[in-house]
Amino acid sequence: MAQKKYRVVHYLNQFFAQIGGEEKANIPPLIKEGAVGPGIPLQQALGEEGEIVATMICGDNYFAENIEAAVEKVVESVSRYKPDVFVAGPAFTAGRYGIACGASCSAVSKKLGIPVVTAMYEENPALDLYRKEVYVIPTADSVRGMKEAIPKMSGFVRKLGLGQEIGLPQEEGYFPRGIRVNQFVGRTGAERAVDMLLSKLRGEPFQTEYPMPTFELVPASPAIRDLRSTTIALVTSGGIVPLGNPDRIEAASASKFAEYNIAGVDDLTPDAYQTCHGGYDPTYANDDPDRVLPLDAMRALEKDGTIGKLYDVYYVTVGNATSVANSQKFGKAIAEKLKAADVDGVILTST
């Protein structure tokens, strides 16, 4: 008698589902029978033991801007197929896609009690948001790593589908989840710590039992001694844009920044400006956009001579779940523009 196959539902965004690019990023959740896009090689890797019975699809923008509704629809649709495993991605560095993968996996796990796994690059902002709740497989930073990602994902999906025990991160190849597990070992913590210290002093390899996070240290710029002769610029990650968001900066996981001329503008009024940020309640920012981008206050400082001049252009993006890589890229590009314009200082506002 043939062994019953374990059932899998796969989550993809509009791009990997081969529906379209950014022009289709607003499509609401839908579900298709069987494997789609990267689900096809994933199905091949699963072999005869597992079957992708359906593919859940949602546009990145729709999910980012309607997380609660999108998650509810994902859970409702997935439950109808009664899968043994739910898998999402791989998302690589795509922040909005990563958020959707992480949020979908988290909700399916919590509400349906189904084993879940996703995959993404280490700098995807969704990793820190969901790694404690969801198994996340490391991938390369772009779709070029799809060939390597599929076998990793299929092996993990197989273990979940067959109900096998999942071992430690270094054994199974998923990102550490920050979960401590008690184990009995033959030597005390003090003995192990002294051995690690001696190995470190001798320049020998060793592996810490509790890796610490590392942070990049950015030296502060020298203070501006006299503001009265300076040109000061405004930059914000708070999403303040002209009404209608003409450059279509994403509400989360921004892929761009924009610049807007404010020469002759003394006040950011709600009939001309708004926030496109999806990470905070926009009510107060939309009532008075100066609360996030303080143009009115800067004009007052300009008029009373506290500063020499307010630069005629401001720069804006959205910091909500935007990747470190994109943030660094935006910062360098904006800094180059400001230096070329002989700007002396910047007021950077967030939310």
Q: For position 47, which CATH number holds?
A: 3.40.50.2300
262: which residues sit within 8 A by CB, 6+ positions away? 234, 295, 310, 312, 313, 314
| Whether 85 and 16 share a structural domain | yes
**Two tokens, residue 219:** 């030296």
Q: What is the pLDDT of residue 2?
A: 53
Q: What is the pLDDT of residue 182?
A: 77
**Which of 172, 194, 217 lies at the terminal end of a domain, its last residue?**
172
Q: What is the pLDDT of residue 293?
A: 97
Asked whether residue 210 is assigned to any structural domain, the reply reads no
DSSP designation for 304: T
DSSP designation for 206: -
| Whether 151 and 245 share a structural domain | no
* C-alpha span between 272 and 276 (Å, rounded): 13
| Whether 32 and 167 share a structural domain | yes
* C-alpha span between 192 and 49 (Å, rounded): 42
For the chain, the domain total comes to 2
| Whether 40 and 155 share a structural domain | yes
Domain residue limits at 259: 227-349
- List of the chain residues with pLDDT < 70: 1-3
**Which of 172, 192, 217 lies at the terminal end of a domain, its last residue?**
172
pTM: 0.72
Q: Are 250 and 258 in contact (CB under 8 A)?
A: no
| Whether 250 and 129 share a structural domain | no
* C-alpha span between 42 and 23 (Å, rounded): 26
| Whether 155 and 258 share a structural domain | no
**Two tokens, residue 181:** 């597990």
Asked whether residue 47 is assigned to any structural domain, the reply reads yes
Alpha helix stretches (DSSP H) within the chain: 39-46, 60-65, 67-81, 95-112, 125-130, 146-161, 169-172, 189-201, 283-287, 295-303, 324-340
Q: What is the pLDDT of residue 3?
A: 67
| Whether 123 and 251 share a structural domain | no
**Which of 172, 199, 216 lies at the terminal end of a domain, its last residue?**
172
Asked whether residue 38 is assigned to any structural domain, the reply reads yes
| Whether 65 and 151 share a structural domain | yes
Asked whether residue 126 is assigned to any structural domain, the reply reads yes
Asked whether residue 255 is assigned to any structural domain, the reply reads yes
Q: Are 105 and 88 in contact (CB under 8 A)?
A: yes
Residue whose token pair is 């503008």 = 265
Residue 311's Cβ-side half-sphere holds a number of Cα atoms within 13 Å equal to 22
Q: Are 234 and 299 in contact (CB under 8 A)?
A: no
Each residue's pLDDT tens digit, 111-124: 999 999 999 999 89
Asked whether residue 206 is assigned to any structural domain, the reply reads no
Asked whether residue 211 is assigned to any structural domain, the reply reads no
